[in-house]
Chains A and B, each alone.
Chain A
Amino acid sequence: AQKVTQAQTEISVVEKEDVTLDCVYETRDTTYYLFWYKQPPSGELVFLIRRNSFDEQNEISGRYSWNFQKSTSSFNFTITASQVVDSAVYFCALSEAILTGGGNKLTFGTGTQLKVEL
């Protein structure tokens, strides 16, 4: 069975600090996708990044960066110079192989609440 573990329930940082959110996953599939979603206080789910299992190239996008390591089954997310607007719940998710018939299932971690304070 697929599993996503976000061991950090809540993280508090002071603005401008760097913060890393951890994600560890389990899967038997050789082809899979990993995602990070952000859920601000308004409640919607905002897509941040998608990575497939064949692409371990790490990525930087503005203040965000991602570290994907298949050897340790980890897909960590770092915010550099955090800002108050980064305060949100962040979910890591793993996409299972296609459900019978064509769809796919996302398995979510339990989320990490990030609080950025002045």
Chain B
Amino acid sequence: TAGITQAPTSQILAAGRSMTLRCTQDMRHNAMYWYRQDLGLGLRLIHYSNTAGTTGKGEVPDGYSVSRANTDDFPLTLASAVPSQTSVYFCASSEWGDYGYTFGSGTRLTVV
């Protein structure tokens, strides 16, 4: 089934440790995004990439980094996790000019 694959599904991480959330799409969409979902705040954009080789900052980029080495993969890295990064993380993709998104199934991250 075409779509977005996120891994891991869930993770418990010690504060101060680093971690990379993986995201892979097979639709050849140009644009990809990372959102975090927190209770009472909805989904907020962390980083985005309009095309391979480019990235941009969203609303809440601090503490996160991304890379886009190719069209399909868009990993999100937490260099030194803090408890406030406990959240559900969604990866998404879209084609240019298409205002809709395809979402992954999410990664639930708990930083303790």
Contact = CB atoms under 8 A, between A and B. Distances in A.
Q: Is the interface of B mostly helix, strand, loop or mixed?
A: strand
B56 A91 contact: no
Interface residues of A, number: 27
B33 A103 contact: yes
A43 B105 contact: yes
A70 interface: no
Q: Report which residue of B35, B88, B99, B101 has the largest number of chain A beta carbons within 10 angstroms of its beta carbon.
A: B99
B59 to A, nearest CB: 9
B45 interface: yes
B1 to A, nearest CB: 13
A69 to B, nearest CB: 19
B48 A35 contact: no
Interface string A45-68: 101001010000000000000000
Nearest to A4: B42
A101 B40 contact: no
Interface of B: 30-33, 35, 40-45, 48-51, 54, 56, 58, 88, 90, 92, 94, 96-97, 99-101, 103, 105-106, 108
26 contacts: A33-B99, A33-B100, A43-B108, A44-B103, A52-B99, A91-B43, A95-B99, A95-B100, A99-B50, A100-B50, A101-B50, A101-B51, A101-B54, A101-B56, A102-B31, A102-B50, A102-B51, A102-B96, A103-B31, A103-B33, A103-B94, A104-B94, A105-B45, A105-B58, A109-B42, A110-B40
